[in-house]
Amino acid sequence: MNATISRVLGAITTSSKGTVITAGGLIIGALAAGWLLKLEVLWAVLMGASALVSGLPITAKALRSLGNRHVGIELLVSLAMIGAILIQEYWEAAAVTFLFNLGGYLEARTMARTRRVIRELIEIAPSKAILLKNGEQISVPLEEIQVNDILIVKPGGRVPVDGEVKSGSSSVNESAITGEPLPVLKQTGDSVFAGTQNENGVLTLRATGIGEDTTLARIIHRVEEAQEAKAPAQRFMERFARWYTPLIIGLSGVIYLVTRDPSFALTVLVIGCPGALVISTPVSIVAGIGGAARQGILMKGGTHLETSGKIDAVALDKTGTLTLGDPRVERIVSLQKDDGISPDMVLFYAAIAESASEHPIAGRIVKTAEKQGPVPPPTSAEAVAGKGIKAAWQEKNILVGSRRFMEESGINIDQEDVGAADIGSGETMVFVALDDRLVGLIGVADPVRSHAKEAVARMRSSGVKRIVMLTGDNRRTAQAVARQVGITEVHAELLPEEKLAHIRALQEEGFTTAMVGDGINDAPALASADVGIAMGDGGTDIAMETADIALMRNDLTVVAQAIERSRGTLRNIRQNIALAIITVTGLLIGVLSGNVHMAGGMLIHEASVMLVILNGMRLLRPAD
């Protein structure tokens, strides 16, 4: 029985376009019967019918809330409708319920529009892929594709899975994933995302991510989570509505006891509804997250959106964040030539150890060595975060990493030999030791991102007071990069826990701090910062999962855009709250002074709801 009642209540609490149209039509019919035909009975019947059509869903929802010990604003409207019908004020009963339903319908439409971002993302993924099998091209459902399958993507087609280009070249439009409107040239070795548009060439791919393990699927999952997560301001407004509603009901009761005027008491009851106030924050948060997603800025939820609007200190990792994360081996120096160790051997041994590492520099050293021949895997390897890697191969012990790593491992470093190696100031110096003896150095240069200097300047202009570089790289390289991008505060040669300590120090000084990074060694700092921001498709999975904001475009200026968008959302929330409070306060003063009546007040009330909705929708527009 209870289940039946619950289903009935559930069915009639659904605010729908049909309810609004039916109730509105009955009101128009009633006005025609009263004003044109002078049929007062028909006027009252039609107005009462309109009130019931609109009021039943509202009353049902109020009863469900009461059953859950929650007093919502629907109870205010329901009591006002019932009271108005009892004193035969049918027009007021119809107007109150119709306008309340109309506001709910418009709010639902706005929310649906913001969630259209998710539907658009889902719809861009193709349902089929062209599988290359035994030299034949076979069209198969996407569910049948496995990792490492070879696929063909023809001009005009969409990329079905995350993959690596094996052959061919083409311009690919990645705007749906990264927000970058210009197509990107993809050729052998490049990564491509599921859902992106292949524009003009034939690409042969190897599938690297399928199903839920694609970048597109992760974006959809993150946006869905973000829009469900409530911001502190949103939770506060819901708590406010819980005590405000009983207060207005009590005030209305007192007014009736004092004045014995039911119409006056009902007007206070209805006009006091905080509808615009309750929706002021969720409308802005959902629209702000949806608009950011369109620009390739994925926020985990309203809490992080709100906190991002208060950022006044930013810590930046160097490799992969300020630099491209695509280092090049510039020089290889042997320090033991007399013992027959050539530069090629230094590179070979370094590559064996680095093949077990995920660091961008490690990958480049391995690729450089592979040009000379195959690189065997190490017998065993152990990465030491922020320092380097230890490996064993054919009874030889190999150490590759920083000077600090060598010193802590007991390797003797001859400063005169290192100085004579002539490694450039902008190059990262990688030390290579074999069987406890330093045998060589590798100079690796990682170009600075083209927009890094502009991005740092834009962060400052958007209100960030302090910008620091936190890097595990050597001080000389770090300072060379910092000079190029305009950063004056540099902390170099840091371990992951030392980056974390610098983040906490900034927080203790009172800064709301963002950490921007992309690597495993950034994960602790990303997690501890008030806002962790992970950079683009070059970022490691752990960095992307740990961060509060993920940037799908490898463009550092997007960090400033994310901060500016968050600040804009906070301004939008404040504007909405101010508008709602001013409207309700003004209307209550008008009612108590006898200058505002129920129908007119309700009209102004609902107009304020619509203004709040329209103001929130502005956040869906793309930012500059």
DSSP states of 82-96 as a string? HHHHHTT-HHHHHHH
Please name every residue paired with 197 in a beta bridge, in sequence order, or none if there are none: 158, 173
- Helix (H) / strand (E) element for 143: namely none
Domains and their CATH numbers in the chain: 128-213 (2.70.150.10), 328-445 (3.40.1110.10)
Portion of the chain with pLDDT greater than 70, in percent? 84
Q: What pLDDT does 457 receive?
A: 94
Tell me which residues are annotated as active site. 317
* Residue 42 Ramachandran class (φ > 0 left, ψ -120 to 50 alpha, else beta): alpha
Tens digits of per-residue pLDDT, 133-187? 888 888 888 888 888 999 998 887 888 888 899 988 888 877 666 555 556 778 8
Tens digits of per-residue pLDDT, 458-516? 999 988 999 999 987 778 788 888 998 999 999 987 877 788 889 999 999 999 999 99
Q: At what angle do helices 232-259 and 275-294 cross, to 10 degrees?
A: 160
b/e burial code for range 12-30 (CB count within 10 A of at least 16 → b):
ebebeeebbebbbebbebb
Q: Which two tokens stand for residue 171?
A: 């311009």
Tens digits of per-residue pLDDT, 543-570? 556 678 888 777 888 889 889 989 999 8
Backbone angles phi, psi at 554, to 5 degrees: -80, 60
Please name every residue paired with 432 in a beta bridge, in sequence order, or none if there are none: 400, 440
b/e burial code for range 465-475 (CB count within 10 A of at least 16 → b):
eebbbbbbbbe
> Taking the model in full, what pTM does it have?
0.61
**Interatomic CA distance for residues 566 and 558, integer angstroms:** 12
Better pLDDT: 76 or 453: 453
Q: What pLDDT does 10 receive?
A: 45
Q: Find, among 418, 446, 443, the residue nearest to 429 by Cα.
A: 443
Query: pLDDT band at residue 541, thresholds of 50, 70 and 90?
Result: low
